[in-house]
Amino acid sequence: MTRIDDTFSRLKDNGKKAFVSYVMAGDPDYDTALEVVKGLPAAGVDIIELGLPFTDPMADGPTIQLAGQRALEAGMTLQKTLDMAAEFRKGDDTTPIVLMGYYNPIYSRGVEQFLADAKAAGIDGLIVVDLPPEEDDELCIPAQAAGLNFIRLATPTTDDKRLPKVLQNTSGFVYYVSITGITGAANAEAGDVGPEVARIKAATDLPVIVGFGIKTPERSEAIARVADGAVVGSAIVEKIGAGESPADVLAFVKSLADGAHRA
C-alpha cells in the first residue's frame, strides 16, 4: 500500500471525493513554490502533483509552459525538485506526492538512480507524459518494483481497443484527460466526462481522477460528482504566474478543494 492507495482508501471510507492540485516545482522560485506546496494539505489538497520543469513540455499549454520557463530560469533542476519533496516530507509524512513531467530528465540521471532518489525524497508516484505503455520496461515496471505508483493518462481518444493497454501496468489511479488538446485549453463538461469515466471504471478497480479544463469550485464539484476526484493545475499556476501571494493562491486552492469535497 502506497500513500496514494491509503489516501483513496481513507476518502472512500469517509464517502469523499479526492482533490488533486498541480503546481510547478520552483515556480516562480524555490522558496515561494515550497511555501505553496507546504500549504496545500491545509487547503484541502489530498494529493499533490509536483511538476518537473522541462524545456519542451509538449502536452502543456502556455500557462504551464511559462511556469516551467520561470522555474528553469530561477535555477530549478531535477535534484532541487527532489530536495523540495524531501523538505516537504519533514513536516508531512501522509500527503502523497506525484511527480509529473517528461522522461528526458529522468533518462539523463539514469532510471535506477532516479528511482532510488525519488523514493528517498518521499515521492509516491510518477506521471510521465511521453512514455507510452509500449515502453513500460523503460520506467513503469522498474518504478512499480521500487514501490512507486505509475499513473497513466487516458483521453477522449483512448478507445476500447487501446484502453486495456493503457491500464495494464497502471497503479495508484487513472488520470482521465477530459478534453483533447493541451492543458488549460478548454472547459471540462461533466456531461461529457461522466460516460467516459464509467467506461474506464468498468475496466479497472482503480480510482479515476479527471483533470484538464477545471477552473472553478463549481466545475471542480461537478466533475468530482461523476468521477473519483478532480485535478486542477493551470488555474492554480495562473495565479502563481500573476504574482499572487502564497496565501491568496492557497485560498483559491481551498475553494477548489471545497468544491470537490462537496461532491
Question: Which residue numbers are catalytic?
Answer: 49, 60
What does residue 188 show for φ and ψ, rounded to 5 degrees?
-80, 135
Residue of 232, 163, 230 whose CA lies nearest to 201: 163
Contact status, residue 256 vs residue 19, Cβ threshold 8 Å: yes
- DSSP-assigned letters across all residues of 128-189: ETT--GGGTTTTHHHHHHTT-EE-EEE-TT--TTTHHHHHTT--S-EEEE-SSSSTTSS---
* CA dist., res. 28 & res. 137, Å (int): 35
* CA dist., res. 46 & res. 172, Å (int): 13
